[in-house]
Structure 1
Amino acid sequence: MKKNFKSFFIIFIGALLVAMGTYFFLAPNHIAAGGISGAAIIINSIFPILPIGALMMAMEVILFITGILIIGPVFGGKTIFCSFSVSGIILLLEKFFPNVRPLSNDMLVQLIFGVLICGVGMAIVFDQDASTGGTDIIAKIINKYFKISIGKCVLIADIIITVAASIVFGIDKGMYAILGVILNATLIDTVIRNLNTYKQVAIISNSGEEIKDYIVDTLDRSATIYYAKGAYNNNEREVITTVVNRKQFLKLKDYIKDIDERAFITVNEVNEVLGEGFAEIA
């Protein structure tokens, strides 16, 4: 229950970022940088009477059903929560901050800020095995069957909307939209890669038993023990290896420093860890 609450809370934070990036930076400049939000911006520019948030909600239904059927109910449930969170937040922003205008005359700067905020939010959502809905569901389906990185899948799914943006808003804004989609795809892959970076740690210490207990009992991680012979004096030593996240590594390093300053530690960054205690093997 606690784990599910944490996951939904993280998804909500991602949704909040996507909504703010879209409403304050992309929408006022008519930058339709892909996604359902981009499609909603295009339609809203043609029919201003139709609110962006309401349009986003209306366009989600078919894609929701598709995502649930193809990817599964857990993904579908999280995606529904995220998508309606984004749409609902935008509706609230439209109520409390109506008629938002571009924050500056520099469209490129606003594009970059909008994509940065939205891209980080989307990456957070994807990392929780969800999506913001709309074309992101299509991206997730492509990712599932073709094993292409999620950022590239988003790029594939959004390219049609950027072409439409070029037709509706002109080639200049269309080119901005294409640039935004490319930046967004790159940022999503980068953020997800960093969110899933772990530390593979090998430790040689005279306090091996204490370190093993700390890893298992305090960090709630396992460890592998093997023995190696040193080339300098031919002594056989115990080597403790484990994989931990960044926060756990800092705790482990501080603990080892407190009990054995002469410990020998090697650290490697691991971009993906699959199996028990980590991501499932897909």
Structure 2
Amino acid sequence: MLRFFSVTVGSLIIAVAYNWFLIPHNILSSGISGIAMIIGILSPLDTGLMNFLLNLPLLIIGYIKLGRDFILYSILSVVVLSVALYVIPIQAVAHDVIISSVFGGVLTGIGVGIVLRSSACTGGFDIVSLLLTVKRDMPIGTILSAMNGIVVIISGFFLGWDAALYTLVSIFVTGKVVDAVHTRHIKLTLMIITSKGEDMKQRLLDSVYRGITVMDGEGAYSKTERKILMTVISRYELTNIKGLIQDVDPQAFVNITETVEVVGLFHRG
């Protein structure tokens, strides 16, 4: 319930940022939402409707290729955001463009950070990046930067280069606030000791896209055989994985340590 509430509130904050600070001044957000904004500004089509339609095929593919729980809550975020964009009236709260771009970026960053802390995303380029890293193990930061650069260039051609520069300001501020709210870059090492090793392994593989190493273990005192599962995850996945572990084996022993560096094959989704 808390996770559902957090994803909903974060998505509503993003919608307020868009309709009250960014869209009235032709300032775009990053990702698919930015493309939806361009369409909404230049045509009679509603931004919320376009945001949903553009994200729909990505969410379907993500549901098939990525973790189920992650995508289900991401679908919730996209639906809430799209409906809120449709319902909340577009009106400028501040008339200064710079203030609007900065404050809109701050609100967007807070909303996105809350959604990410709930082990979900707002759809769009995040899902595209995750899918590409699954296929080619490409660095997600580079992919996102390239795709957001395309959005800025498109906004320059269609809305003017002043709007493109204000969009850059908004995207930059959003990124800084997201980093402050949600430490997504932090990696954690999980060591799970459980008597339900096969069930635990399968549940994790079905729900989270991470490699898992399985080892045999034995209790020194009880002499009971155990399975030891070790994996490295991103910080934003921890909430989801802790819930999964609790569901499969409430008696499992879990050691969580912060990872200084990861060398080798690791999908940075």
Q: What interval of TM-score do these two structures reach, taking the shorter chain for normalisation?
A: 0.5 to 0.7
Matched, 1:136 2:126: yes
Matched, 1:188 2:184: no
Aligned mates of 1:138, 1:126 — CA distance in 2: 16
Correspondence for 1:41: 37
> Contact between 1:154 and 1:185, CA under 8 Å: does it hold in 2?
no
> Contact between 2:105 and 2:170, CA under 8 Å: does it hold in 1?
yes
Correspondence for 2:219: none
User: 1:61 is aligned with what amino acid?
Assistant: L
> Contact between 1:14 and 1:120, CA under 8 Å: does it hold in 2?
yes
> Contact between 2:58 and 2:124, CA under 8 Å: does it hold in 1?
yes
The match for 1:21 among 6, 17, 36 is 17
- SS of 1:276's equivalent in the other structure is strand
Shift in CA distance, 170/28, structure 1 to aligned 2, threshold 3 Å: same
Aligned mates of 1:10, 1:50 — CA distance in 2: 29
User: 2:13 is aligned with what amino acid?
Assistant: L
Shift in CA distance, 64/194, structure 1 to aligned 2, threshold 3 Å: closer
Aligned mates of 2:95, 2:85 — CA distance in 1: 23
Correspondence for 1:262: none
What do residues 39-96 of structure 1 show as CA deviations (whole Å, max 9, x unaligned)?
111111221x211111111111111123223322111111101100101111121xxx
Correspondence for 2:168: 178
Greater gyration radius: 1
Count of residues in correspondence between the two structures: 194
CA RMSD of aligned residues (A): 3.0
Identity %: 24
The match for 1:88 among 83, 86, 91 is 83
What do residues 175-211 of structure 1 show as CA deviations (whole Å, max 9, x unaligned)?
1112222222222122212998xxxxxxxxxxxxxxx
- Unmatched segments (≥5 aa) in structure 2: 187-252, 260-265
Aligned mates of 1:18, 1:165 — CA distance in 2: 20
Matched, 1:31 2:21: no
Correspondence for 1:72: 67
> Contact between 2:18 and 2:104, CA under 8 Å: does it hold in 1?
yes
Matched, 1:276 2:248: no
User: 1:22 is aligned with what amino acid?
Assistant: Y
> Contact between 2:130 and 2:140, CA under 8 Å: does it hold in 1?
no
| Runs of 4 or more consecutive aligned structure 1 residues displaced over 3 Å after TM superposition | 139-149, 152-157, 277-282
- Unmatched segments (≥5 aa) in structure 1: 197-274
TM-score, with length taken from structure 2: 0.63
The match for 1:114 among 104, 117, 130 is 104
Shift in CA distance, 11/160, structure 1 to aligned 2, threshold 3 Å: same
State the structure with bigger RCO (CA 8 A, min sep 6), 1 or 2: 2
> Contact between 2:31 and 2:125, CA under 8 Å: does it hold in 1?
yes
Aligned mates of 1:138, 1:9 — CA distance in 2: 25
Q: 1:278 Cα shift? A: 5.5
The match for 1:9 among 5, 24, 38 is 5
Aligned mates of 2:56, 2:13 — CA distance in 1: 22
Shift in CA distance, 124/279, structure 1 to aligned 2, threshold 3 Å: farther
Aligned mates of 1:111, 1:153 — CA distance in 2: 24
